């Protein structure tokens, strides 16, 4: 009787505890979904034009099924992007035009599917849901804001990581039916981004660990055929021979690049010069590699510790196979990035597009640690990693949320300039890309494939009252400054001639102190690349919204003469 009373009195507390855990898990998920839904626009950027706009035009111009398949599988740069093109077709068929917002959100959806895959592995360990709380904080944040907001990157990195992870999960769980599903899924992943080709190697390791040698032969032969077919028709290898030369002359830089890429989640001071900025990611990468090696050595390997085939069916063994497969995929990818990209400069290792990879690796190491550490130390491990996750998550929002919001305004302005001046969404005046992007988008609009978004200053009336503005040319850029009302919430510089109007976004509200402390700025600044301006004489003004003046556009007497 006493026992019954005690257990019943604990039930509400336990339920409250579980609800709190789920609320903590949902916090980063809902916040991440919110910023994606709010700040992703229906605007193409650079590679999007070739890979989606031109693709849709060529696909529907094709007369035969063979031609349509050709355009689906045609390589773009060094990748085939089958899933991305299928997503473009899907949004076109469902919305009536190329919907880059829809495509980008589809890519973001795979981040949540990836989180769901990690949760599936976690639940197999039968631990309290509290132990999963650090994972969404480590995985979901705007450190990789370019992946969140750019169509082509969102339809490559998150998609292929989920597909490859799903392949490793199917292989790790064993069984003929799962293997039969894993093979076509791996082929599909390989045709969706070249990084997924590494899955053939890591998947082979999983099959070898399991002792499934017949399946390993089938897997290897299928992978070889896929690779041969994949590279057929490739004409652009992006100077990979130069990367090998760089490795021979500066091998230490390739190693540093590899470690920094692995430790990208620890890029906690992105405003520092690269010489200082790179210290934390490089040290973090070294620590993660050490942790990974320790975790792997704790796993039973074939021909060690008397492992028997029945071990493959234990949850611990299946999870170990999954972790090894994912580690292999991520490490081979990091090696390729360090080898092939480091010659472009150290900054490429910390580019926003890549930051989903270290985030996934840290998440995997944490879950693997839950399985490996002793029950006595599991709570300590959980608290340490929760602290690390909160630091990563908080730093990501502090540094990169303002960047993401600024990019939102930047692409809106770029779309306006592209629509009205045929420049803005890629390339420079007088270059091949200017004509290529301009022709493709003009044709897409004319044929109904694409609709430009509404002008960000469409409802701003012109106020004839004069204002003061200053323009200075420096580093191939016009810097435009004006004193705007202290309550100004948003503003765009406006450059108008007799025949053209350009917009330029202001970074002022997205500087850290202004953004987070809501400090009013005495001077607002905007930048516009000098080469974007067509010849003419442009008056300088501002379109701004404030509590005093509401929305309006005012011009100064200052002019810029573009030649």
The answer on pLDDT for 311 being more than 80 is no
Q: What is the mean pLDDT of the chain?
A: 91
pLDDT of residue 305: 42
pLDDT of residue 83: 97
Question: What are the backbone angles phi and psi of residue 25, rounded to the nearest 5°?
Answer: -65, -40
Distance from C-alpha of 29 to C-alpha of 23, rounded to nearest angstrom: 10
Taking CB atoms within 8 Å and a gap of at least 24, the contacts of 181-186 are: 183/218, 183/219, 183/222, 186/222, 186/223, 186/226
Task: Name the band, by pLDDT with cuts 50, 70 and 90, for residue 15.
Answer: low
The answer on pLDDT for 545 being more than 70 is yes
pLDDT mean over 238-256: 78
Task: Name the band, by pLDDT with cuts 50, 70 and 90, for residue 35.
Answer: very high
Give which of 183, 191, 150 is closest to 40, Cα–Cα.
150
Task: Name the band, by pLDDT with cuts 50, 70 and 90, for residue 307.
Answer: very low
Q: Enter the tokens of residue 328.
A: 């292999």
pLDDT of residue 383: 96
pLDDT of residue 493: 97
The answer on pLDDT for 2 being more than 90 is no
pLDDT mean over 322-337: 96
Who has greater pLDDT, 427 or 500? 500
pLDDT of residue 5: 39
The answer on pLDDT for 358 being more than 60 is yes
Distance from C-alpha of 27 to C-alpha of 16, rounded to nearest angstrom: 16
The secondary structure element, H or E, covering residue 559 is: strand 550-562
How many other C-beta atoms can be found within 10 angstroms of the C-beta atom of residue 153?
A: 24
End-to-end CA distance of the chain: 92
Give the C-alpha distances (Å, rounded to integers) separating 12 from 1, 15, 17, 130, 166.
18, 5, 9, 16, 37
Distance from C-alpha of 460 to C-alpha of 455, rounded to nearest angstrom: 10
Distance from C-alpha of 494 to C-alpha of 478, rounded to nearest angstrom: 12
The secondary structure element, H or E, covering residue 246 is: helix 240-249
Q: What is the CA radius of gyration of the chain?
A: 26
Q: Enter the tokens of residue 94.
A: 């469902």
Task: Name the band, by pLDDT with cuts 50, 70 and 90, for residue 309.
Answer: very low
pLDDT mean over 524-540: 94
pLDDT of residue 4: 37
Please say whether the beta carbons of 542 and 492 come within 8 A: yes
What are 468-494's pLDDT values in tens digits?
999 999 888 999 999 999 889 899 999
Give the C-alpha distances (Å, rounded to integers) separating 511 from 64, 150, 508, 518, 520.
53, 22, 6, 10, 11
pLDDT of residue 302: 55
The answer on pLDDT for 10 being more than 60 is no
Q: What is the pTM of this model?
A: 0.93
Least confident span in 157-161, 170-174, 181-185: 170-174
What are 292-302's pLDDT values in tens digits?
999 999 886 65
pLDDT of residue 250: 87
Task: Name the band, by pLDDT with cuts 50, 70 and 90, for residue 242.
Answer: confident
Task: Name the band, by pLDDT with cuts 50, 70 and 90, for residue 451.
Answer: very high
pLDDT of residue 8: 43
Who has greater pLDDT, 202 or 550? 202
pLDDT-above-90 percentage for the chain: 80
pLDDT of residue 304: 47
Please say whether the beta carbons of 452 and 80 come within 8 A: no
What are 94-140's pLDDT values in tens digits?
998 999 999 999 999 999 999 999 999 999 999 999 999 999 999 99
């Amino acid at each position: 009787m006493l026992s019954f009373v005690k257990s019943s009195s604990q039930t509400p507390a336990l339920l409250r505890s579980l609800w709190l855990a789920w609320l903590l898990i949902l916090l980063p998920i809902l916040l991440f979904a919110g910023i994606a839904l709010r700040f992703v626009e229906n605007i193409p950027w650079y590679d999007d034009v070739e890979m989606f706009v031109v693709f849709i035009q060529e696909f529907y111009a094709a007369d035969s099924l063979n031609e349509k398949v050709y355009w689906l599988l045609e390589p773009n740069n060094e990748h085939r992007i089958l899933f991305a093109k299928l997503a473009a077709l899907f949004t076109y068929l469902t919305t009536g035009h190329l919907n880059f917002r829809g495509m980008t959100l589809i890519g973001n959806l795979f981040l949540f599917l990836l989180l769901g895959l990690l949760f599936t592995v976690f639940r197999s360990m039968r631990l309290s849901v509290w132990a999963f709380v650090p994972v969404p904080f480590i995985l979901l944040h705007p450190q990789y804001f370019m992946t969140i907001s750019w169509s082509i990157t969102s339809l490559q990195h998150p998609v292929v990581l989920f597909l490859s992870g799903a392949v490793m999960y199917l292989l790790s769980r064993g069984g003929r039916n799962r293997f039969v599903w894993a093979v076509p899924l791996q082929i599909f992943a390989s045709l969706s981004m070249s990084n997924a080709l590494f899955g053939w190697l890591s998947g082979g390791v999983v099959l070898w660990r399991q002792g499934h040698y017949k399946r390993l032969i089938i897997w290897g032969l299928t992978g070889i055929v896929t690779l041969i077919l994949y590279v057929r028709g490739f004409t652009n290898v992006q100077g990979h021979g130069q990367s090998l030369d760089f490795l021979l002359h500066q091998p230490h830089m390739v190693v540093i690049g590899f470690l920094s890429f692995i430790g990208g989640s620890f890029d906690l001071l992105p405003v520092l010069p690269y010489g200082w900025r790179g210290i934390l990611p490089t040290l973090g990468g070294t620590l993660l590699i050490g942790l990974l090696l320790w975790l792997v050595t704790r796993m039973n390997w074939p021909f060690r510790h008397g492992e028997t085939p029945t071990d493959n069916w234990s949850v611990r063994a299946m999870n170990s196979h999954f972790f090894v497969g994912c580690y292999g995929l991520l490490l081979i990818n990091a090696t390729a990035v360090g080898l092939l990209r480091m010659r472009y400069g150290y900054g490429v290792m910390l580019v926003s597009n890549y930051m989903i990879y270290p985030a996934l690796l840290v998440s995997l190491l944490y879950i693997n640690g839950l399985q490996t550490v002793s029950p006595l130390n599991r709570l300590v491990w959980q608290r340490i990693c929760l602290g690390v996750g909160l630091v990563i998550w908080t730093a990501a929002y502090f540094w990169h949320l303002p960047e993401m919001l600024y990019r939102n305004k930047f692409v809106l302005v770029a779309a306006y300039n592209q629509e009205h001046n045929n420049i803005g969404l890629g390339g420079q005046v007088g270059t091949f890309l200017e004509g290529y992007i301009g022709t493709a988008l003009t044709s897409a609009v004319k044929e109904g494939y694409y609709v430009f978004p509404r002008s960000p200053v469409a409802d701003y009336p012109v106020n004839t009252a004069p204002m003061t503005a200053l323009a200075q040319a420096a580093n191939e850029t016009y810097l435009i400054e004006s004193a705007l009302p202290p309550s100004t919430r948003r503003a765009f510089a406006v450059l108008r001639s007799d025949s053209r109007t350009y917009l330029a976004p202001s970074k002022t509200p997205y500087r850290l102190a202004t953004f987070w402390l809501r400090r009013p700025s005495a001077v607002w600044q905007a930048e516009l690349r000098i080469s974007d301006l067509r010849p003419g004489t442009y008056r300088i003004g501002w379109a701004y919204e404030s509590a005093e003046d509401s929305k309006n556009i005012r011009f100064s007497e200052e002019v810029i003469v573009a030649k």
